[in-house]
Structure formats: C-alpha cells, structure tokens
Amino acid sequence: MNLPIANIRQDRHVASYVSLGRSRSDLKTVLPASPRTAAQILAERDAAQAERETLEDSRSDVLVNGSVEDLLALDTRIALAKVRQDQATAQHAAAVSAEAAAQAVHEAEQKRRKDLHRKAMKASDEVEKLATEYVTEAQRLVPLLSKIRERAALIDAANYALPDGADPVPPGEPRYSFEGRSDQPHSTIASRVRLPALGTDAGYIWGEIAPIHGRIVHEPH
C-alpha cells in the first residue's frame, strides 16, 4: 500500500537570504505546496536542522570578523531555519497522525472486503449445489407441464368445435390473459413457464426460446 498523503500545506515561504535594509518584497508569496508524506516532511525538518546547525557554527567567526549587518543577517537566517525546523516538526506530527488514521481506515475496509469475499466464495459453492438441484427439480416439472399442455390442447380443441347448446369447457386453472383483459383467450401455465437450462446458449429444459433472428424456436415435445 502506498503511504497516504498528509494534507499539510505551507502557504507562505520566507526568503532564505535576508540582509539589513531589504524591502518586504523579500517575503515571497508562493502557491501552496503539494501534499507531502510524513517521510518527506521529516526530510525537510532534518534539512532545516542541518542548515541551522551549520549557520550556528559559523556565528562565532562572523561575531569576531563580520559587521553588525552581517551578524544581523546571519541571526535572521538562523531564526528562519529554526522556524522551518519547528514548523516541519509540527507538520510531521500531524502527518503521522493523518497517515495512521488513513491506514486504520484502509485496514478496516480491507477486512470488510475480505469478509465479503469469504462469504461470497461460500455462496458460490452453495449456488453450484443449488443449480444442480434446480436442474433436477426442473426436469421433474417437465412431465407435469406436459400433462397440463396436452389437456389444455384438448380443452381448446373442444371449445373450438362446441356442440350446439354446450357451454365452453373451463380451463381448469385460474384464468390468465394479457393484462387481465377478458377479450383475450386464456393462456395456460404450460405455455408461460420458462425453465432455462444451465450454461451459455444452452436452451431450455422447458418452454420456447425467445425468438431471435437466425435462431430456431424450440419447445420440447
């Protein structure tokens, strides 16, 4: 996992070189820096600390041999290095906290995903067994649906040629028509059931295959 980026930005930057008498234009405003990792901020802190120590080591020489202006400029640079060091120290602490929080969120999310994956793998095994059961149960329905279809065909034939004075033969099952319209003929359950076989383009255990261009419409006999 990549380290999360701490959203710690520095909005202003003070010029590293300052001498007595320079105008406020030496305080340069720059665009906010990009988010940095705790490791990057720590490197910046170490660099500021090293710069400060180097400047402090040179102070005794400037104190003896330099001018007042040189000493003031040096002390200013030492103070600025100290400020950068202190700021980086505070930002590093904030970044470490932010990265720890991000890591905790990441680990919690990974735990949730692993738990979901484990349950899904178990469900996949169960579906495999249930699919086999489905095929068995669907095949058991075929003889029943065949009987219903045969008898429905017989009823339709009789109703097509009723003897004089005879009432229509009822379908024997609850009446079904499209959108419940009474002006449409009854559609038997045997003609409405679709029991697809398993697999891609495997056809049907029972029922017509939906008409598709170039495909043969099939209904088991």
pLDDT in tens, 167-177: 999 999 988 87
Percentages of the chain per state (helix, strand, coil), in multiples of 5: 60, 5, 40
pTM: 0.54
Instruction: Write down the pLDDT at residue 178.
Output: 78
Q: Between 25 and 180, whose confidence is greater? A: 180
Return d(Cα 121, Cα 143) in angstroms, integer: 35
Return d(Cα 186, Cα 1) in angstroms, integer: 63
Return d(Cα 163, Cα 21) in angstroms, integer: 122
- Which amino acid, one-letter code, is at 139? Q
Under the banding of pLDDT at 50, 70 and 90, the label for residue 101 is: very high
Whether residue 117 has pLDDT greater than 50: yes
pLDDT in tens, 33-84: 678 899 999 999 999 999 999 999 999 999 999 999 999 999 999 999 999 9
SS3 assignment, position 210: coil
Q: What is the mean pLDDT of residues 28-37?
A: 70
Whether residue 12 has pLDDT greater than 70: no
Instruction: Write down the pLDDT at residue 209.
Output: 52
List of E strands, 70-145:
none
Angle between helices 68-160 and 38-65 (to 10 degrees): 170
Task: Map tokens 């095994």 to a residue.
Answer: 125
Would residue 195 be called left, alpha or beta, if left means φ above 0 and alpha means ψ between -120 and 50 degrees? beta
SS3 assignment, position 195: strand
Under the banding of pLDDT at 50, 70 and 90, the label for residue 213 is: very low
Report DSSP state, residue 199: S
Whether residue 16 has pLDDT greater than 60: no
Q: Which of 29-33, 48-52, 186-190, 208-212 has the highest mean pLDDT?
A: 48-52
Return d(Cα 8, Cα 91) in angstroms, integer: 6
Among candidates 168, 151, 171, 150, which has minimal Cα distance to 159? 168
The string of DSSP codes covering 93-105 is: HHHHHHHHHHHHH
Q: How much of the chain exceeds pLDDT 70, in percent?
A: 79
Instruction: Write down the pLDDT at residue 81.
Output: 95
Q: What is the mean pLDDT of residues 159-167?
A: 93
pLDDT in tens, 130-159: 999 999 999 999 999 999 999 999 999 999
**Residue 17, Cβ density class (10 Å: 0-12 exposed, 13-18 middle, ≥19 buried):** exposed
**Residue 145, Cβ density class (10 Å: 0-12 exposed, 13-18 middle, ≥19 buried):** buried
